[in-house]
Structures are given as C-alpha cells and as structure tokens.
Structure 1
Amino acid sequence: MKSFSKVHRLLATCSASTFLILIALTIGCANSSLATRQQQPNPATRERSSPQTNVASNPARCQTEQLSVRKVSGDAGVGNVAIIYAFTNNGSSPCNLYGYPGFALLNSKNQPLKGVRVIRSQGTYFLTKQSPQKVTLAPGGQASFEIAYNHTRDVGQSCPTSVKVQITPPNAYHHFTLPEKINACTGQVRVTPVQAGIIQ
C-alpha cells in the first residue's frame, strides 16, 4: 500500500510539472506570435512616411509673402472701366489660389473710401461669367482677376475717387497696396475670381 501511495504521489507530481511546462510553452508561443505581428509594418504608417507625394499633388495655399501683384491692363467702354491685375508666384514651390481676392479703395490717408461697395461677381461688362476654380501656380506662374466699375457721372455729381487700392490674395491675411485712381461714380466695384494665366 505504501508503495502504491508513493507511486500515486509521483504521478501527481509529474502531471503537475507537465501541466506547468505546457502552460509555459503555450505562453511562449503566444508571445512569439505577438512579437512577430508587432514587427510587421503598418501600411498606413508606410503611406504617412511619404509626405512628398501629398505635397506635390496638393500644394499649400499661396501666402502673400511669396506673391507679387501688378496692374496688367485696362479697358473702357460705354462708361464702364475694367482693370486687370495679376499675381505672380515668386516662391520656389507651387501654391494654390482659389476664389476672390480682397479689394478695397483707399483715400490719401490709406483709409477705405466711403460710399463705395466692392461686390464679388463671376463676370463683368467686359468678362464672360466664370465660376471660382482652384489655380495652381508653379514658381513664376501667374493668375489674374478683373475689377470693373462705371465712371459715368451726373451733372454736378462728385464721384468717390481712390488714391490707392488694397489687394489681398484669396484666403490670405496680408495685402498689397498699389497707387490707383478709380472714380466709382455708381458706388460699386465688381471683382472677379482669380483665373489661371493672364485674362485676355
């Protein structure tokens, strides 16, 4: 009987040891599998590690500091006057312009001219209607817009007359100031959205 008890205890001890060994092996395999899975690269991480592609396909918004603006030409007919201005990208990388530039008439003290309202317009007397569209400017590239107004005055009428104009690129905060005499006798100046190239 004593021999049988010893054998029983020995078998119980061996079974417990074997069970512990099996648990250890199972945990070790699971950890090894987890480590293998963690070492595999994440496709999303690979995509984010290549920002140059995104920058090239979707340039940033043009900042005032990387642009310049100039008066390109003017036209007149039936009391209407139009002036075309152009932005130039002086930076080393492409940038985007979209929508309407800011435009204001200024007096000799650089204050907004009273009695004049600037209106966003897709077209003018001189220019066919065109919806706003994104314009990508390569380095040295240009985009233009037109302002139009009527300078026909009634007898004895005194028209609001600017000394300068203030131009702000679309969706920007800083502006340019250029000398410009505009007699907006009807009290309205129309501004069109920017277009690629120079408006003809």
Structure 2
Amino acid sequence: MRHKIKFFFKVYRGGIFVIFTALITGCVNSSLVPKQQPTPATTERFSPQTNSASHPPSCQTEQLSVRKVSTNAGAGNVAIIYAFTNKSSLPCNLYGYPGFELLDSKNQPLKGVKVIRSSSPYSAKQQSLQQVTLAPNGQASFDIAYNHIRDVGQSCPTSVKIEITPPNAYHHFTLPETINACTGKVRVRPVQPGIIQ
C-alpha cells in the first residue's frame, strides 16, 4: 500500500500550531476485501479423501478389529501377539505403542500390575517405532510379555479381561484374557507391520 502525506505548518508567536492534513491515496488494503470462495473443483482437490491416499490419518478404533494371534511360553516368560486389521475401505496409519490394560472381574484396572513400554521384552530382538500404513484388510501387530512363575505361597495378580487401545486413538477393545503377571509387570512393544514372527 502506498500513501502520500502532506504536512502544513503555521507558526505563531508563543507557540506552534500544527495543522496536519493527510491525503491518502493508493490501493485499498487487500485484507479488507472478502476472499473469493473456492470453486467445487478446488474443494475436491483438497478433500480429505484425496489427502488420505498420500497421507493417511491415524487409524481410529472404529476402523479396526483386533485378535490374539498366538501365545508362546518359555523359561517362565509368556509372550502374546495381537493383531490389528483395517476393516474400513480407506487406508490409515498406526504409530507407536498401543494402550494395554489388565482388568479384574468387575472391569476395573487390575491392582498390583504395571504396564511398561519396552522395545525388547525378554527378547534380544528390538523393535523400533515406525509408522505402519494399513491398507484396507491390512494387518499390523504387537506383542506383550510377562513372567508367570510364582514364589511359594505367592498369589499372582490375574486378569479376567484386557483393554487394547490402538496408538493415538481414544476408544478401546475389550477381550477376555487371563494373564498371571506374577512379577507385577507386563511389557508391551510398539506396533509393527504385518504379523510378528
């Protein structure tokens, strides 16, 4: 914006009176002009459906299903693999650790058990955080591990159900599951593409 300003001064004895006259010419501030609404073609170009193809959003619980894949035990340790499947018609992303909670018979968090995020529970193979894009019917998995060896006379905290929440989601799945976490710790690893071997 360009302004032209002219100043006129009149000096009188005992003081100065300034007569300020500003003549402003130039273009109108563009920010005051209402913006033109995008055409339907522009709206379609930047629609969420188009964006999701190249940058899928985080998977929401409603888009997924979850199931137990397998259980392995050895040297007192138990590892369970769970898999998410994208049951929707659009791709989505999973990144990071799922939420995992042990529940008692009253559907309350099991007391005396702490869930710990870990990259390598009871295993020499570490699993790094990585973004997993799930196409429709695509699968991703994670595993949990705990120790079920109890000392003589020890009563281990035992779950009746578990809650699984996909990474970056708010709602959870509830599954029946008996976990005897005798050490009071359950380790969970981050989501990986496909089914963990």
TM-score range, shorter chain: 0.7 to 0.9
**Which of 132, 144, 147 pairs up with 1:147?**
144
Structure 1 residues 47, 132: CA separation in 2 closer, same or farther (over 3 Å shift)? Answer: farther
**Which of 99, 105, 116 pairs up with 2:113?**
116
Q: Which has the higher helix share?
A: 1
4+ residue stretches of structure 1 with deviation over 6 A?
none
- Residues 61, 166 of structure 2: 8 Å contact kept: yes
Count the aligned residue pairs: 160
SS at match of 1:113: coil
TM-score (norm 1): 0.75
- Correspondence for 2:19: none
User: What does residue range 84-103 of structure 1 map to in structure 2 within 5 Å?
Assistant: 84-103=81-100
SS at match of 1:54: helix
Q: Percent identity?
A: 76
**Which of 166, 171, 182 pairs up with 2:163?**
166
Distance 1:103 1:62 in 2: 17
SS at match of 1:147: strand
Which deviates more, 162-171 or 122-131?
122-131
Bigger Rg over Cα: 1
What displacement does 1:127 show? 6.2
User: What does residue range 61-140 of structure 1 map to in structure 2 within 5 Å?
Assistant: 61-126=58-123, 128-140=125-137
What displacement does 1:174 show? 0.3
* Aligned CA-pair RMSD: 2.4
TM-score (norm 2): 0.76
- Residues 82, 126 of structure 1: 8 Å contact kept: no
- Correspondence for 1:194: 191
Unaligned runs of 5+ in 1: 1-30, 32-45
What displacement does 1:125 show? 1.4
Distance 1:58 1:178 in 2: 31
What displacement does 1:54 show? 3.0
